[in-house]
Chains A and B, each alone.
Chain A
Amino acid sequence: MIRVDSITIKEFRGIRDLTLDFKEKNFAVCGPNGTGKSGVVDALEFALTGSVSRLSGEGSGEISLKQHGPHVDRRNDPDKARVTVKVTIPTLSKTVTVERSLKTPGVAQVMPSDPEVLDALRQVKAHPEIVLSRRELIRYVLAAPGKRADEVRALLHLDQVEQVRRGLQKIANDCEKKLVPLDREVTEAREKLLRAIDLSELTKEKVLVVVNAQRVILGLSAFTDLTETTSLKDGMSTLGLVQPQRIPKVQAIADIRAAREVITEITSDQIATNVAEVTADLSALASDPAVAASVKRETFYTTGMELIEGGACPFCDNSWDLEELKRHVQVKIDHLEEVSRKRTVAEAKITPLIEVLGNMRTAINTLAGFAALATPPVVIDAVREYGTNCGTAVGKLTAFLPLAETITVLTNVRSVPQGVLDAIGDLEKVVAALPEPTKQDAAKEWLTVAQERLEVWRNAVRKQKAAKEQAQRARQVFDIYTATSDTVLAGLYATVEKDFSSLYEESRGTVLRNDCRIQKLQNIFLKEKGRGYQNRSLVTFLR
């Protein structure tokens, strides 16, 4: 804790030469706009910290303290811009003088410069809240109960607390996003398995029935239970029942039929209508310039709306109609909310397309596997390429942005290359020409394919389960962080609110007692401009 005794400001901001004697008490500076009240606060902050938050904070861009700190007539001579403060450190019972020039803002001349004194000044410097703007004070006082933690966080510049909150939130969101493709992977693996074992639902009882039916044909023992490690082929190798490397005719026919069904679906009128609708929606969105930077702009407008105050623009000082400006900005915010709503609608329409493309990718890749075993060989380059393209399209449609790429994908989504259709036709002929397997061979093929697909499904489920647990854990950590930080900051609010009220009352008392002194200061500040008395600022030097 320190108390400010006096300040001497020379050639700093709008002040040529000013000395104020605070007498270690609360102090108020009143005056019309533009007479230098904020300059006094800037000078005090500069002397104590070497920086001016108004010139270095968020949104100040490339403003340089050296260039913009000195009085306009001393811009090329920053050494003349100097601030000297005399402070008392009660805990050390010492009075200390701190002087800085804008030529070397980072270097303070401190007298006396004992380690304890320097440490006390370091502690002051560590507190960004030593200077609070009028806006910050008003926002804090007017904070609604649900917003108090946020206001304390902003007021105390608790960037670390906020940075951790944002980080944990992003981790939780990312973990949840990862679940979407994994859910799809499980669904696709399940469909493929069901097709191989010719069931419509995956229950242990039903699987046991169909699996045991095949095992009995091969003279293998029937299972009484299925666990997560059971191999449907258990015992096949010991009985010399190894599946030869050939196309399993029954499964291949079922998979070719499934692939054709997906092709029929993707080229259907329903999908055509869906694609046309989504393309129109996205084209409309793409033509809206607000979309490209919607996230940034929404934040910009919302923040701007919160900062609109007073009768003039803080950048150019042109006067504005406050209500009209608010209405104008609100229209923009509403528009962006509308854009966001349209995006949600378009994404919902794209979801079935993503699903059908995913099914297509799975079906095509399965056929490519059969085609590799075909005799005579089937040219499958086009099939493999199409399978890859389907995967890429799924990724781009899921990403949604950039819109131009999504629209391009939609344009081609229904087009199945002739080379793919030809290859499927060729494969179908090869499969049809295969000799009908014996009952035993069919059972071996059935169990082999079923086991492969069961394993793929099991792996997909394991990955999904692990990802779900990870997502739940990340969300739990974020929720706990949010709850505890809100509790701590809300507690601080209550303490600060009480102190603020008592300090405010004390300040008012001091203002009344020092009325004569304030009148004198008003005369100093009023000397430059003849404008009316427009507003008042209360500067509370925190003790």
Chain B
Amino acid sequence: MTRSMMTSPTTEGRPDVPAQVFEKFLHALEGAGVSAEMVARLRKTLLEDKTYTESVLKAAVLGEESLT
């Protein structure tokens, strides 16, 4: 079971399913015409900072509007 997951995109040679989901999600957002700024913010949050709290996601989705 685990072996098959190893064939998918990995980080450090091991399966990283959340990263696969996040990558596809960001790709789909780009295809849906969502602003490039929002996609960049979400990419930083999900894939670089790996922070998933609601407040951080809100800032990524709404940008400055999250402060209003």
Contacts and interface: CB of A to CB of B under 8 A. Distances in A.
Interface of A: 1, 123, 126-127, 129-130, 156, 158, 160-161, 163-164, 166-168, 170-171, 175, 466, 470, 473-474, 476-477, 480-481, 483-485, 487-489, 492, 495-496, 498-500, 503, 540, 542-543
Interface in B1-54: 1-8, 12-14, 17-18, 20-22, 24-25, 27-29, 32, 34, 38, 46, 50, 52-54
Majority secondary structure, A binding face: helix
Given A484-B21, A492-B17, A542-B2, 18 more contacts: A1-B6, A129-B2, A156-B5, A160-B18, A470-B65, A473-B34, A473-B38, A473-B61, A480-B34, A481-B25, A484-B27, A485-B21, A485-B24, A489-B17, A492-B8, A495-B7, A496-B1, A498-B4
A488 B20 contact: yes
Interface of B: 1-8, 12-14, 17-18, 20-22, 24-25, 27-29, 32, 34, 38, 46, 50, 52-54, 57-58, 61-62, 65
A540 to B, nearest CB: 8
A517 to B, nearest CB: 23
Given A161-B17, A489-B21, A495 B5 contact: yes
Given A160-B18, A164-B52, A488 B29 contact: no
Contact of B13 (A123, A161, A171, A542): A123
23 contacts: A1-B2, A127-B2, A156-B5, A161-B21, A167-B53, A175-B62, A470-B62, A473-B34, A474-B61, A477-B38, A480-B25, A480-B28, A480-B34, A485-B21, A485-B25, A488-B21, A488-B24, A492-B5, A495-B5, A496-B5, A499-B1, A542-B3, A543-B2
A485 B22 CA distance: 8
B61 A168 contact: yes
Chain A to chain B: the 3 pairs with minimum beta-carbon distance, closest first: A160-B18, A167-B57, A499-B4
B14 to A, nearest CB: 5
Contacts, number: 101
A480 B20 contact: no
B6 A163 contact: no
Query: Which of A161, A167, A477 has most chain B Cβ within 10 Å?
Result: A477
Given A484-B24, A489-B21, A492-B17, A499 B3 contact: yes
B25 A158 contact: no
A171 B2 contact: no
A171 B29 contact: no
Given A1-B3, A127-B2, A484-B24, A164 B57 contact: yes
Contacts of B50: 160
A455 B46 CA distance: 41
Contacts of A489: 17, 21
Contacts of B22: 164
A156 B13 CA distance: 17
Contact of A156 (B17, B29, B65): B17
Nearest to B24: A484
A76 to B, nearest CB: 37
Contact of B17 (A158, A164, A171, A466): A158
A158 to B, nearest CB: 6
Nearest to A543: B3
Contacts of A466: 65
A167 B52 contact: yes
A426 B34 CA distance: 57
A540 B2 CA distance: 11
Contacts of A160: 18, 50, 52
Residue of A1, A171, A476, A496 with most chain B CB atoms under a 10 A cut-off? A171
A160 B56 CA distance: 14
Contact of B61 (A163, A477, A487, A500): A477
A543 B4 CA distance: 10
A171 B62 contact: yes
Contact of A168 (B2, B5, B57): B57
Given A495-B5, A496-B4, A123 B18 contact: no
Nearest to A164: B52
A156 B17 CA distance: 9
Contacts of B34: 473, 476-477, 480
B6 A480 contact: no
Nearest to B7: A495
